[in-house]
Every structure is written in structure tokens, then in C-alpha cells.
Chain A
Amino acid sequence: MSMSYLELLKLASPQAIVTLTALIVLAIGVATGRRTVVTGVAPAKPQERATHAVPASMSRRTADTAAASTGTCTLVAALGLIVAIAAIVMLPSRADLFRGMLVISPLNSLFEIVCLVLAFFTILLTSRETSNYDEYLAIVLLATIGLLLLVSSEELLMIFIGLELTGLSLYLMTAFDKGDSRSAEAGLKYFLFGSTASAFTLFGLSLIYGMAGSTSLAAIADRLNTEPLSPLLFAGLAMTLVGFAFKIAAAPFHLWAPDTYQGAPVSTAAFIASGSKVASFVVLGKIMLVGFSSVHGSADWRAMVAGWSPVLAALAAFSILIGNFVALVQTNLRRLLAYSAVAHGGYTLLGIIAGGREGFSATLFYTTIYAFTLLGAFGVVALVRRETGGDNLPDFAGLYARSPLLAGCMAVFMLSLAGLPPLAGFFGKFYLFSAAFRAGANHGLLWLVALALFGSLISLYYYLIVLKVIFQTQGAERARQSSAAENGLARLTIAFAAAAVLFLGIAPQFLVARILAALP
């Protein structure tokens, strides 16, 4: 392959720009100096911690520089992401570097943009009180590069590198709240589960490479077309799936999710639930439907055929049941969102199981709108946490009286998750379930659709409980002052997410047409 480095850099410019931004942010942090010295272990309660974050000894001048520095960092990071989006828009519409290592196609570009937008809003949601703010932003950007690699690669090795880069950055981001032991615990759990899952994936990939003789998805697909499914290949496939099941928190590989969603800094949780999930579903769909489409198998009722779809169907069924039933008894909103995320992972898998252009497009639509919904929901959690110091359900009591905007947005997010019109979740579910119903001979996936609908019915109960608390119970006035400008950015993010969920519910064509046009 003859290609000048300049050409190469041009095609990889989005990734390069984000990398550069991360470095600049770090440099700004170093240049303005360390601002806070964490003395000992700070108390676990956030409101007390907040008072410790700025030691009294710090002079007014340092505080001002610190504020200016965090402001600059945010601005640079946000600008970098915007420039990266612009770079993607200007790229040629199709290119292929090193046999699938880096592929530019309409689909990849679309989801690179989605990931960048999600990262952008994650940065807006990040609390300025985070210690070592600049490093946190740099790690968010690094995780974003991982997502970009994941989405834009069609080669197993590169996909693995993307998974690892994202994973390692997310472990760090999870454990970033040094004052909170929950955060440390969450980081450790996430890391242990994640590294085990990665090991499985790597082993699975090596088996697949051994069987197929190539790491490029296209080459694997060619090879498999002529060969039947051997047990060893199936083992490799199943092990690879473990890694992805972990990423999308499908039961029974979901055990890290509740602790991570609850313990991690809120913006980290939002990023895990949105960006990381979107990228994982895009890659999973590509691997299964491009690379392994010939060993699809069948998950039809009483007509199962060996392949990857029965495995995914089992994962989906477990996720829907476990996620929804366990979410019923949660009293912490973040844990509740975690279990509901497990269930939603199950619904989203339905599209991939159904397969085909329609199924994949339904999965992509659903995972995108789900990402925006959870981003917004975590935004609300972040603001309530800043106000009341907690995120248990009672902390949300009377939110309606304190902030009608946040309460209204939360209603949009919860009802969209429950799948009620006119919100995006409703259309998303209709799309997914009709794709699943259409697939297979004689509507064999009806059992899975019925199960998913049953799950939605259960989920409506706990989403309504959340809304009941928000709208009905008169909460004590526990508001605490926090920076108005910062809340302004977070509010903007939340309002944008709510508007997006509403808009994509009323005019789903906007996204569906783009996804369908991008799919081959």
C-alpha cells in the first residue's frame, strides 16, 4: 500500500485532533500548576467534601487562577471535539486504510459524530469541583479516541485496541473521585471484571484468527462463507461475545454495572452509559452481521440453530428479566438506572439477533436515543446531587417544586425509557420489536418480543415511582448553592437531551433515514 504520511494523517485527522486536544488540556493543567492538595482521606459525604476541596489556606488569587484554568480546559476540550466533528464531515465519504484497520464509511462517520457529541456533553456535565480537573478531561478525551477507533475499525486487532483504550480510560474515570470510597470500590470492580472479560475476548479473537487466518472482518466473512461452523470457531465466537456482553452490561455479565453507575463520578457514569454503549453496539453489530453473518444460526422458538444468535438471544432474555426485576427494588436512582440499563441492553440486542439491514438499523437507532436519554438522566442526577448531596430516591422528592425544568426533563427521560409516545423510546421499541418479529421463519422470535414487552410493562412501574417521587412528594428544601454558570451548562445539556428525545420521537425519520442511508 503506497500512501503518503500526509494522506494518512488527513484520513486519521479526527483521532489526531482529539489526541492533540487531550495533550493541550494536560499542558494547560501543568502550566497553571497544581491547585488543590488532598490532605488525607476526605470524608465520604459530598457536601462535606466540597468544603474540603478548596482548603482555607488557599489564597484568593490562586482560587481565581484555578477557576480560569478549569474554564480554559473546558473550552479547549469542547472546541477540540467540535473541530474533530468538522474534520469528520470534511473527510472523503469512503476510504480504507490497511485492510480495515481504519475504515471511513458513512456509517462509521455517523457514529463517530454521535460519540463525539456524547463526549462533548459529558464534558459539559463534569463538575468543576473534580480534583485534577484537567487530567479528568484529558482522560475523557482519550476514552473518546478509543470510541472513535472502535467505531471506525473493521479489523479485530484494532477493535481490541479500541476496547482496551476505552476500558482503561473508563476504569480511571470511575475511580477518579479520590475522596469517595464508593468510587474506589467501583473502579476496582469495573477493572477486575473488565480485565477478565478482555482476557476472554483476546483469547476468543486468537481462536478466530487461528481458524480464519485473518483479522479483517471482510476476510473472515469470505472464509466462513465456504466453511461450516466448527466447534473451535464457536468457542472463539462465544469468548469474544463475553467481552462485548461485559461492555454492554448484558446479564449475567452485568455485575459491575450497579456499583459503577452508583459509585463513579456522575459524568463518568453518563459516559459509560452513553458513549461506551453506543460504540460497543456499533462494533458488536458490525462483527456479527459483517464478519460472522454466515454463522448467524437461529434463535426461533423450538427451531434453534447453532450460531451466535441463540447465544445473544439468551443474553437478551436474561438481561431483560434480571434487569427489570432487580430494578424494581432499587432505592438509589443510579442503581435503578444501572439495572434498567441492563434491561435496555437486552432490548437493543433484539435488533442484532433479528439481523439484516432493518434489524441493525433498529439497534443503532435505539442505542443512540438511549444514549441521549441516559446522558440527560445522569445530568439531572448530577444537579440534584449538587443540591441535596445524594442520589437516593428521597433526594429527588419535590424536585418539581424546586426546578420544574429538571422535573419536566426527567419525566421525558423516564417515560421515553418506559417506551411511551410521543418520545423516542416508543418509536425505538416499535422499530426493534417489529424488526425482530419480521425476522426468522414463521415469526419465531415472537417469544423474545413478548418477553421484551413484558419487561417494558414491569419497567413502567419503577419509572413511574421515580416520577411520583419527583412530582408528588413535597420534599424538604435542601438546596445548596452551587456555581450558576456551571449549572447553566449542565442545564443546557439536559434540556438539549430532552429536546432530542422528544424530537426523535415525533420525527424519527430524521435519524432513521440517516442510518438507513449509511447502511450498505
Chain B
Amino acid sequence: MIAWTIYITFAGAIAVLLLPRTFSRWIAFLATGAGFAISLSLLFCRDLDLAHFTTIVRAPWVPALGMNYHLAVDGISLTLVLVTSITAVSSVLFSWDVTERPNEFFFWLLLVVAGSFGVFLSADLFLLFVFYELVIVPKYFLIAIWGSTNKEYGAMKLTLYSFFGGALVFIGIIAAYVTGGSLDLNQLAQFQFNPQLQRWAFPVLFLGFAILAGLWPLHTWAPTGHVAAPTAGSMLLAGIVMKLGAYGGLRVAMNLFPQGLQMWSKWIAVLAVIGIVYAAAVALRQRDLKFVIGYSSVSHMGFVLLGLATANVLGVSGAVLQMFSHGVIGALLFAVAGRMIYRRTHTRDLDDLSLMELNRALPFAAFVFVIASAASMGIPGFSGFAAEITILIGVWKTYPLAVWITGAGMVLVAAFTLRALKKSFFGDSAANIRLQQGRVALDADWNEYGRITLAEKLGAGLLILATIAIGVYPKLLLDRIQPAVESMRFLKTGG
């Protein structure tokens, strides 16, 4: 049944393209909403074996080359499908005002979502790679056509980085396919690859995926891409696309090449820790609100990579939980910065924003941003805390030193988040800007966008609900993630 998330989204994409533009946002909403409903219902479905990567569909595709259309699901996949669908629904809601070529906009948006569902559910290496690469081009068009600041540069940079990562993944996948003689992920996970192959194939494959997850020093596409993207684009990038990389690293690279992981895990950990601290430090100095959030994404994804590098149950489960958590929080932050603030003030410069007293002009946006910031800083009660504490407990077992450095990094995270919060919403008031309840007048077309709309409120509400629900009751997901992680090979072979 979960396979229908893919089909419905693809069908939605085609319908959006063919039907008149007035329907497009509704079709997109229905398609993503259906995906959300399906994944949520499966979360509470009892008779689904989430501890193993259980096949749901399997049909021959190119028998001559051993390719199958093979989908499967376990706790990790389900978690990521869920966060994808949540982010998708809210990104559609936050794009309710897109009037320029809406058909194509929602077409590309739905393709990203459908491709991501596909990646998270594929149990065939080739199929996974098809979906993975399928996501690249829609991103380019979303950013290059509907983006803002420096959009063509950002779009091209992001696309080429993704494609470069894809090329590395390509080599790794072919290596696994040719030596393992199969494309079935479950079969390959049983195959003993020789250590010499693992020594080079693991880093190639993992690096290829990790580029999309924002691994330092190959993270630079992320801030520029996030800034250039339209609001929904940034939400999808932060919420979904970066997870594709981390998921690929876990499901493919780590699971197929456990000995390779052993050889290289400490280097991943080193890069991840540098990424966490470095990105947080850079975020502290940014003037553009979206750049602050972009770097915070890199920093948060550093936690995911650090968790993966521990190769123990807690660390990896925490990493998966962090993928969920950051997906929701990152999307929320970008929604506030891109849609709620930028569409009304036409600026994201923190110094300009600090003159506007946005907390009085846009009280709802201020409320949402406070919650998102708190969640991002890792305040208990929000999902960020649950995820990061799980990761750090896992890390403590393998790399105690990393916990200390990361701890310092978390102080930096709090510092830049608070700085952005203060400057954007609680700045010093200035008399020279006209203010009206719900409106900001800096730009000539200031009255174009009025109060926060219902769509925005719904989208924000959904994301806030998700982060609080998991923050208060993380077992809801952890109980499903942990068994799936426990059945992975790198744990059994004593990683």
C-alpha cells in the first residue's frame, strides 16, 4: 500500500501538467496529502514487519541485466517517507501563492517528492539510483525559474554537485553490481565483498551520497542552493533532498560494505564534527537570514553523518531520527524566512529586518519562528533534542572526544539561532518605517501581501505538530527505527 505514495504523486505530477492551471495547487495538495495519509496510517499499522526490509512489490524489469522493479519498506524507510510527505504537504501549502507558471512549478515539485519516495522505498540498486537521479533535474528548474538571489548560479552549482555525487555513486553501484552479481539490496547485503574492493568502493559510494547530505567540505552547494531556491524549493532541499544522501549512505554504502565502513568511519566522524562546528561558526556571521538557515542545515546534517559514523545502534537510530527532525525543523525555518518574511518585506538582510519590528507586524510568523528556533537549538520537548541526545549517547561509546567538540558546537548553534531570532523579529524599532497590523511597508508593493494566510497557518501548524509530537514522544519513531537498524549487517559483523 505504501507503494501508492509513489504512484499517486507521479499521477498528480502528470495531472498537474495536463489540467488547467487553476487546479494545479489543489491537485498537488491532494496528491501530497494522500501520501501523508498513507504513510501516517502505516505508522500505526500493526501487522507490518518493520524490523526487516520487507518486500512489497517485485516485478521483473530488465531481466537480461537482472534489474527488478522491487520496493520494500522497514522502519527507516517508513520514517523517511513520513517526513517526506509532511514536508511535501506543507511545501505545497507554502506555495499556495505561486502564480507564475503554476502547472510546471507543481509538476517539478511533485517529481521531487515522487522521486524521493522512490529512493526511500527501493530495494533494487538500479531502481534506487534511477529515482535518486530523477530528483536532480526538477531541482534545477525549480530554482532556476522560480528562485530568487543569484538563482542561475545556485541552481547550476547544486545540479552539478548532485550530478558529481551521482557519478561517484554510479561507480560504487556498478562495482557492487558487477562483483556481487545482483542488484537486489537484500541479496547484496548477504554477499561477502572482498576487503580490497570495500576499501575503495565504500568511500567512493559514501562520499557520492554524502555530497547530497552536505558533508564538509563538499557542502557549499547547500547554502547557495537554499538561498537561491523558492520557498518550497528550500523546504524540499532541507527537508527531503539532503536526507536522500544520508539515507543512501546508510542503506547502500554502509549496509553493503561493512568492512569499508570500519576502515573509514573515523574519517567520516572527523569530517562530520568539522562540519557541525564550522557551519555553525559561519552561520554566526551571515547577514542573509536564509544563509543562516542554510548553514544551520549543514550543521544539523553533520549530526546525522556523525551518528552514521558511530556504526552502533543508538548512533544510527539517532541519525535516522535526526533526519526526520531536521526535515521538519529545516522546512519550518525556511518557510518562515522565505514565505512569511521575504514575500512581505522583500528583504532577508538581518540588519534591515532588525529595523522593522516584525514581532508586532507579523505576530504569527514570530511565534512560529520562536518555536522553530527553539527546536533547532535542541530545547527539550522538541524533536531536535530527542534526536541529538540519542546521537551523542551513541557517539560517546565510540568517539568520546567528538562529544566534547560537538558540545561546543551546539553552543554555537544556539548562538547563531538566537542572533537570527533577535535580529529578524525582535530588533530595535525605528521610527522611519510605517507599520500597520499585519503589514510591513518597506517596498513599493507593500500592500500586495497582507496577513498570514490560512494556507501558511496550516502548513506551519503541521510542521510544529510533527516536531512537538516526536519531541514529546520519540518512542513513536524510535521503536520502529531501532529494530530496523539492529538488523543491518554492519552491526552484526561487529562494526
Interface residues of A (CB under 8 A from B): 415, 420-422, 426-427, 430-431, 433-434, 437-438, 443, 446, 449-450, 453-454, 456-457, 460-461, 464, 468, 471-472, 508-509, 512-513, 516
Cβ–Cβ contact B134 & A421, under 8 A: yes
Contact B62 A426 (CB under 8 A): no
- Contact between A513 and B64 (Cβ–Cβ < 8 Å)? yes
- Which residues on B sit within 8 Å (CB–CB) of A450? 171
The answer to whether B133 and A421 touch across the interface, beta carbons within 8 angstroms, is yes
Chain B residues with a Cβ under 8 A of chain A: 61-65, 126, 129-131, 133-134, 136-137, 140-141, 144-145, 152, 156, 159-160, 163-164, 167, 170-171, 174-175, 177-178
**Whole-angstrom CA separation of A509 from B64 in the bound complex:** 8
A454 to B166 CA separation, bound complex (whole angstroms):
11
Residues from chain A with Cβ under 8 Å of B62 in the complex: 427, 508-509, 512
From B136, B144, B156, B164, contact of A420 by CB (8 A): B136
**Contact across chains for A426 and B64 when beta carbons are under 8 A apart:** no
Contacts of A464 in B (CB 8 A): 140, 156, 159
A438→B180 CA distance, assembly (Å): 11
User: In whole Å, how far is B7's beta carbon from the nearest beta carbon of chain A?
Assistant: 14
Shortest CB-to-CB span from A400 to chain B, Å, is 9
- Give A450's nearest chain B residue, CB to CB: B171
Distance in angstroms from A255 CB to nearest chain B CB is 29
| A437-B134 contact given A430-B126, A453-B167, A509-B64, CB 8 Å threshold | no
Tell me the minimal C-beta distance from A182 to chain B in angstroms: 32
Task: Give the complex CA separation of A47 and B136 in angstroms.
Answer: 39
Q: Across chains A and B, which 5 residue pairs bring their CB atoms closest together, nearest first?
A: A453-B167, A421-B130, A438-B178, A509-B62, A437-B174
Determine how close the nearest CB of chain B comes to the CB of A362; give it in whole angstroms.
10
Task: Tell whether, in the assembled complex, residue A471 and residue B167 are in contact, meaning their CB atoms are under 8 Å apart.
Answer: no
On whether the beta carbons of A431 and B167 are closer than 8 Å, the reply is no
**Nearest opposing residue in chain A for B179, CB measure:** A443
Does the CB pair B178–A516 fall under 8 Å? Answer: no
Distance from A325 Cβ to chain B, minimum over Cβ atoms (Å): 15
- On chain A, the residues within 8 Å of B160 by CB distance are 457, 460-461
* Complex alpha-carbon distance, A433 and B166, angstroms: 14
In the bound complex, residues from chain A placing their C-beta under 8 Å from that of B171 are 446, 449-450, 453
CA distance A377 to B177 in the complex (A): 33
Name A515's closest neighbour in chain B (CB-CB): B64
Starting from the known contacts A433-B174, A443-B175, A508-B62, 7 additional A-B residue pairs (CB-CB under 8 Å) come to A434-B177, A453-B171, A461-B160, A468-B152, A509-B62, A509-B64, A512-B62
Which residues of the partner chain B approach A468 to less than 8 Å between Cβ atoms?
144, 152
* A256 and B145 alpha carbons, distance in the complex (Å): 37
> In terms of DSSP, what is the predominant structure of the interface of chain A?
helix
Q: How far is the CA of A421 from the CA of B130 in the complex (A)?
A: 6
Give the residue of A426, A457, A508, A512 whose beta carbon is less than 8 angstroms from that of B167.
A457
B64 and A471: CB pair below 8 A?
Answer: no
Chain B hits for A471, CB < 8 A: 141, 145
Q: How far apart are the CA atoms of A509 and B170 in the complex, in Å? A: 20
CA distance A472 to B160 in the complex (A): 19
- Asked whether B163 lies within 8 Å of A457 as measured between CB atoms, the reply is yes
Q: Could you tell me the distance in whole angstroms from the C-beta of B35 to the nearest C-beta in chain A?
A: 20
Take A460-B160, A468-B152, A509-B64 as given contacts and tell me if A433 and B170 are in contact as well, using a CB distance cutoff of 8 Å: yes
CA distance A368 to B103 in the complex (A): 33
CB closest chain-A residue, reference B151: A472
Is there an interface contact between A426 and B133, defined as CB atoms closer than 8 Å? yes
**Residue of chain A at shortest CB distance from B134:** A421
- Report the bound CA distance from A45 to B130 in whole Å: 44
Can you offer 13 A-B residue contacts whose CB atoms are under 8 A? A434-B178, A449-B171, A450-B171, A456-B163, A456-B167, A457-B167, A461-B160, A464-B140, A468-B144, A468-B152, A471-B145, A472-B145, A512-B65
CA distance A508 to B64 in the complex (A): 10
Question: Within the assembled complex, what's the spacing in Å between the Cα atoms of A350 and B146?
Answer: 39
Pick the contact of B170 from A431, A453, A472 — CB < 8 Å?
A453
State the CA gap A457–B170 with chains docked (Å). 12
- A512 and B64 in contact (CB under 8 A), knowing A460-B160, A460-B163, A471-B145? yes
CB-based nearest A residue for B164 = A457
A456 to B63, alpha carbons, bound, how many Å? 26
Asked if B156 and A461 sit within 8 Å, CB to CB, the answer is: yes
Q: In the complex the two chains form, what is the Cα distance from A450 to B159 in whole Å?
A: 19
Q: What B residues does A438 contact at CB under 8 A? A: 178
For the complex formed, measure the closest distance between the CB of A435 and the CB atoms of chain B, giving whole angstroms: 9
| Shortest Cβ distance from residue B133 to the other chain A in the assembled complex, whole angstroms | 5
A516 and B64 contact, CB distance less than 8 A: yes
Q: Are B134 and A422 in contact (CB under 8 A)?
A: yes
Tell me the minimal C-beta distance from B140 to chain A in angstroms: 6
**Bound CA–CA A420/B177 (angstroms):** 19
The docked-state distance in angstroms from the alpha carbon of A430 to that of B134 is 14
Decide yes or no: A454 and B64 within 8 Å by CB, A437-B174, A461-B156, A471-B141 being known contacts: no
Task: Please name all residues of chain A whose beta carbon is closer than 8 Å to the beta carbon of B156 when the two chains form the complex.
Answer: 461, 464
Best-buried of B152, B164, B167 by chain A (most CB within 10 Å): B167
What chain B residues lie within 8 Å of A420 (beta carbons)?
Answer: 133-134, 136-137
Cα separation A471 to B141 with both chains bound (whole Å): 9
Q: Please give the distance in Å from B102's CB to the nearest CB on chain A.
A: 15
For B129, list chain A residues within 8 Å (CB): 421, 430
Most buried by B among A430, A431, A471: A430
- Cα–Cα, bound, A421→B163 (Å): 12
Residue of B nearest to A433 (CB): B174
Given the interface pairs A454-B167, A508-B62, A512-B64, the reply to whether A434 lies near B174 with Cβ below 8 Å is yes
CA distance A453 to B169 in the complex (A): 11
Write out the residue numbers on chain B whose beta carbons fall within 8 Å of the beta carbon of A422: 130, 134
- What residues of B have a CB within 8 angstroms of the CB of A456 in the complex? 163, 167
* Interchain CB contact under 8 A, A509 and B167: no
CB distance from B62 to the nearest CB of A (A): 5
Residues A437 and B175 in contact, CB atoms below 8 Å apart: yes
- When distances are taken between beta carbons in the complex, the residues of chain A under 8 Å from B164 are 457
- Bound: A468/B131 CA distance, A: 23
